[in-house]
Amino acid sequence: MKVYSDAAEALQSVKSNQTIMVGGFGLVGAPLTLIDELTRKEIDGLTVISNNLGEKGKGLGILVNQKKIKKGIGSYFTSNRDVGDAYQKGELELELLPQGTLAESMRAGGAGLGGYYTKTGVGTDLAKGKEERVIDGITYVFEPAIKADVALIRAWKADTLGNLVYYKTAQNFNPLMATAADVVIAEVDEIVEAGELSPEEIVTPHLFVDGIIRAEKILTKDGVVSNEQK
Amino acid sequence: MKVYSDAAEALQSVKSNQTIMVGGFGLVGAPLTLIDELTRKEIDGLTVISNNLGEKGKGLGILVNQKKIKKGIGSYFTSNRDVGDAYQKGELELELLPQGTLAESMRAGGAGLGGYYTKTGVGTDLAKGKEERVIDGITYVFEPAIKADVALIRAWKADTLGNLVYYKTAQNFNPLMATAADVVIAEVDEIVEAGELSPEEIVTPHLFVDGIIRAEKILTKDGVVSNEQK
Amino acid sequence: MNKNDIQELIAKRAAQELKGRCVVNLGIGIPTLVAKFINDDNVFFHTENGLLGVSDVSEEDIDPNLVNAGKLPVGEAVGASYFNSADSFGMIRGAHVDVAILGVLQADQTGLIANWAVPGKNIMGVGGAMDLLVGAKKVIVTTTHTSKDGKSKILKECTYPITSTRSVDMIITELAVFEVMEGQLHCIELMPGVSMDEVREKTEADFISDVTVAGGNML
Amino acid sequence: MNKNDIQELIAKRAAQELKGRCVVNLGIGIPTLVAKFINDDNVFFHTENGLLGVSDVSEEDIDPNLVNAGKLPVGEAVGASYFNSADSFGMIRGAHVDVAILGVLQADQTGLIANWAVPGKNIMGVGGAMDLLVGAKKVIVTTTHTSKDGKSKILKECTYPITSTRSVDMIITELAVFEVMEGQLHCIELMPGVSMDEVREKTEADFISDVTVAGGNML
């Protein structure tokens, strides 16, 4: 576990053609500082696993426009029209999963499971080609676990060991991604001493976390601003 | 959600031949008051899902000796020799699962999944007869989800809505069982007003909980004692 | 009625279905309005992005990191709790959410709905729709009776891809309330001032007239 | 050496394997003693009943609800966290635990171990043994070299049911240290005062003598 001084240092090991999980539900709980660094980094061919691919020209949306993303795996791309356009032009592959399946597959990946059977999607276009299985009279589809090379996540506070706590609905996919990638970098509002977070409130124990940085971009009522407290 | 005045009232709906999950790792985090009531209740033919079947003459061990349990599903029965004896005599069926599989199957049951593939147990006697599947070059075995009619669990505090928080390692299987049974009764040290537990510390949201009672039996350094604060 | 009045009429009627202690998930659009008409401490709102205990929020209390599934700012009710997305959808799939109120693009006469994709356009978003359909104990659809171009949204058969093989339980529009019973659509209620003839005229689906509650001017 | 000295000798040697930042799960028996010989803030102990950050506890601070997997009282280290059993085993299976130190009934010359069942007796308990074997990045066995009746515990082949098809990485006894490399047992170290002849005599398994570190009186 390392406390990095900036995003560039934290993402030094990120390479082209890697699979990267990026936390957040829209911009809420998204690692905006780390995403910003991805937009500056010379990489391409990325597979990005994230609920959305940002908004038009914002967050991961910039990476879409930079054509750094080869494939997106998520549940809701509608909020960024550029994603649809790139898909139509054949510049971007997309894999659409029900939101619960996306979350559960990450959890399975992090927990060392190979896959699982879910009711969600059975009989719909999203289950086409997926294996069906009847268990106790109910039809399920098989979903494989998902893992990534890197997870870029957003938390509220970290302690110096790497334990993380999250803020309200900015939690969403972040704790799941923290379990499911080889390298996990968390961007946080505040870094406190070990022992300052109560053992009962820690959501992501430090064994999942490889690096932390202090957030330089913060979501406010008025949009994304720079962290002035820095 | 109902706050019951005593264990007898809380367990009124429990019937013979039901499947009952019982929380705890040994006596730690076990719902001792509710178990005590089961020993007084005229029921039999129970399937009990619990990591252990109590200790010799203690906790669920009393139910074993009362021959109220038809089948036990757990990971470690060694700590109660009576369980082995009853099994040898053919008075008790047992299903032994790796502890991680036991926990994961409950979670799957609570989360509406049909089952999942785990590496644990592959190639061992405990995987005999279980379906194997190779996913990305790794061999897994299929494990079905587990559910129950009733879950009897132990928490630290409840609020009046039924939200629960747990105490240190007395958490163990309790939050998982809370998700995986039709009726969930929690025994707690303290019942506080809604709003007194912080939204971030709640581990079991109230939608999982059907009833709560104040614990009358408490585990101390000196063994199980009656709750004098009552 | 203007659009706003229509939406509120539908939402208000849906709110009447929420009686006794229940956990309710509200979709985007008209469903979100339902909360306005609930004044019952026993109705708890769940949002799949990770909160049980959604409440209203005033303009000055808006927190950009506290939103619902439609990414709109919300408040935190007394006794609320937060959780990650896997746990949240575990609640949904595991049948711990009592009622889901959803919008649709189309519904059909067996209660199947389509609300996530339009053929010919890119299939770009499903969100939590499929999970809610398979998991919620009761599913209520709130929708305008017809689309903008006046076509019935309640069809003999959905032409858009269905969201689930599970039928919804109830459909509430500005004209009528339908229940799905044994795979058939029953019109059980007319909205004030609406005639059965009007409902028949504006509904492509076959349905059984079963109006026992006179909401309007005729049975 | 008495039993206690033997156990401490083995535990102390195992402790030397824990270098740099690592998360370690300790089994019941000799493995539990390993913590005594660690004085490094970068070694974090995980116990599968739901705690990362196990520490020693003094008699007066014993909390009956704070125990390890052996149900013995433990303390809470700075920066500790608690979690449920599913999350705890997710950490184990998901390869987030660096080292597991376990006891065995038997080990064989390919590194397979048996530590959960004895044929003829009831198979009554497995606990977390199988999960740790498949999940921990490195598995170290600590065991007395022979059973109470003097028989080798390191065999050509386990006669008891195996715990996993995964071989362990290292076996530490009061006589020697073995590493498993490419499915073969290598004796890499002798304990002080122990000869290779004694090890050969007390070991049923075939192994390759590969002693590069002189712990004792001969190579």
- Across the 219 residues of chain C, what is the mean pLDDT of every consecutive 10-residue run? 95 97 96 95 97 96 96 96 98 98 97 93 88 98 96 98 98 98 97 96 97 54
Contact criterion met (CB < 8 Å) for D82 and B169: yes
Say whether pLDDT at B13 is over 80.
Answer: yes
State the nearest Cα–Cα gap between C78 and chain B, in angstroms.
Answer: 5
Contact criterion met (CB < 8 Å) for C21 and B111: no
- Among B122, B200, B201, pick the best mutation site for testing chain A contact (most A Cβ within 10 A): B200
Q: Which residues of B touch A19 (CB under 8 A)?
A: none
Residue indicated by tokens 């799941």: A176
Say whether pLDDT at D212 is over 80.
Answer: no
The residues with which C46 forms a beta bridge, in sequence order, are C25, C52
Q: Which residues of B touch D48 (CB under 8 A)?
A: 99-100
Confidence category of residue D219, pLDDT binned at 50, 70, 90: very low
Q: Smallest Cβ distance to D165: which of B122, B172, B175?
A: B122
Q: Which residues of C touch A134 (CB under 8 A)?
A: none
Contact criterion met (CB < 8 Å) for A119 and B114: yes
Contact criterion met (CB < 8 Å) for A101 and C131: yes
* Model pLDDT for residues A157-177, shown as the tens digit of each residue: 999 999 999 999 999 999 999
Separation of first and last alpha carbons in chain A: 21
Residue C138 belongs to domain with CATH number = 3.40.1080.10
The answer to whether C and D touch (≥3 CB pairs < 8 Å) is no
Nearest CA in chain B to A114: B117
Is the pTM here over 0.95, yes or no? yes
Q: Smallest Cβ distance to C128: which of A77, A100, A220?
A: A100
C128 CB within 8 Å of a chain A CB: yes
Residue D19 lies in a domain: yes
Q: Which residues of B touch C86 (CB under 8 A)?
A: 111
Say whether pLDDT at B227 is over 80.
Answer: no
Where are chain A's structural domains? 2-113+146-222
Spatial separation of the C-alpha atoms in residues D99 and D23, rounded to whole Å:
6
* Average model confidence (pLDDT) across chain A: 96
Contact criterion met (CB < 8 Å) for B100 and D131: yes
Contact criterion met (CB < 8 Å) for B133 and A144: no
Residue C37 makes CB contacts below 8 A (sequence gap 6+) with: C11, C12, C15
Residue D153 lies in a domain: yes
Confidence category of residue D75, pLDDT binned at 50, 70, 90: very high
Contact criterion met (CB < 8 Å) for B100 and D64: no
B108 CB within 8 Å of a chain D CB: no
Q: Total domain count for chain C?
A: 1
Spatial separation of the C-alpha atoms in residues A31 and A172, rounded to whole Å:
12
Using DSSP's 3-state secondary structure scheme, residue C22 falls into: strand
Mean pLDDT of the D128-151 span: 97
B112 CB within 8 Å of a chain C CB: yes
Say whether pLDDT at D44 is over 80.
Answer: yes
Contact criterion met (CB < 8 Å) for C46 and B1: no
Q: Which residues of D touch B93 (CB under 8 A)?
A: none
State residue A79's pLDDT score: 86
Chain CA centroid to CA D98, Å: 13
State residue C218's pLDDT score: 40
Contact criterion met (CB < 8 Å) for B115 and A119: no
**What number is the ipTM of this complex?**
0.96
State residue C217's pLDDT score: 40
Lowest pLDDT segment from A139-143, B131-135, B219-223, D205-209: B219-223
State the nearest Cα–Cα gap between D195 and chain A, in angstroms.
Answer: 40
State the nearest Cα–Cα gap between A80 and chain B, in angstroms.
Answer: 30
What are the CA-CA distances from residue C94 to residues B19, C89, C216, D34, D40 (Å)? Answer: 18, 8, 39, 42, 44
State residue C119's pLDDT score: 87
Q: Smallest Cβ distance to A206: which of D79, D82, D135?
A: D79
The enclosing H or E element of A108 equals: helix A99-110
- Among C25, C43, C81, C93, pick the best mutation site for testing chain B contact (most B Cβ within 10 A): C81
State residue C51's pLDDT score: 98
A137 CB within 8 Å of a chain B CB: no
Nearest CA in chain C to B160: C79
State residue D213's pLDDT score: 57
Total Cβ atoms within 10 A of residue B26:
21
Residue C140 lies in a domain: yes
* Average model confidence (pLDDT) across chain D: 94
Cα angle C10, C11, C15 (rounded to 5 degrees) comes to 120
Residue D44 makes CB contacts below 8 A (sequence gap 6+) with: A206, A207, D21, D22, D23, D24, D52, D53, D77
- Among A102, A117, A122, A139, pick the best mutation site for testing chain B contact (most B Cβ within 10 A): A117
190-209 of B, contacting A, C-beta below 8 A: 199-201
State residue C123's pLDDT score: 64
State residue A2's pLDDT score: 97
165-184 of D, contacting A, C-beta below 8 A: none
Q: Which residues of B touch D84 (CB under 8 A)?
A: 103, 171-176, 203
Say whether pLDDT at D65 is over 60.
Answer: yes
Total Cβ atoms within 10 A of residue A5:
10
Q: For helices D85-93 and B99-110, what crossing angle results, to 10°?
A: 120
Contact criterion met (CB < 8 Å) for D71 and B122: no
HSE (side-chain half, CA atoms, 13 Å) at B161: 28
Which entry of D17, D48, D179, D189 is annotated as an active-site residue? D48
* Model pLDDT for residues C162-205, shown as the tens digit of each residue: 999 999 999 999 999 999 999 999 999 999 999 999 999 999 99
D111-129 in b/e form (b: 16+ CB < 10 A) is bbbbbbbeeeebbbbbbbb
A119 CB within 8 Å of a chain B CB: yes
Whether B54 and B60 have beta carbons less than 8 Å apart is answered as yes
* Model pLDDT for residues B133-179, shown as the tens digit of each residue: 999 999 999 999 999 999 999 999 999 999 999 999 999 999 999 99
Q: What share of chain C is helix, strand, coil (3-state, %, to 5)?
A: 20, 30, 50
The fold for domain B2-113+146-222 equals: Glutaconate Coenzyme A-transferase (3.40.1080)
B107 CB within 8 Å of a chain C CB: yes
Residue indicated by tokens 């007394």: C78
- Domain hosting residue C19, numbered range: 3-209
State residue C121's pLDDT score: 81
Residue C219 lies in a domain: no
Spatial separation of the C-alpha atoms in residues B193 and B178, rounded to whole Å:
20
Q: Which residues of D touch A194 (CB under 8 A)?
A: 78-79
The residues with which D125 forms a beta bridge, in sequence order, are B76
Residue indicated by tokens 């911009």: A27
- Among A1, A184, A207, pick the best mutation site for testing chain D contact (most D Cβ within 10 A): A207
Nearest CA in chain C to B193: C79
Contact criterion met (CB < 8 Å) for D90 and A107: yes
Nearest CA in chain D to B89: D122
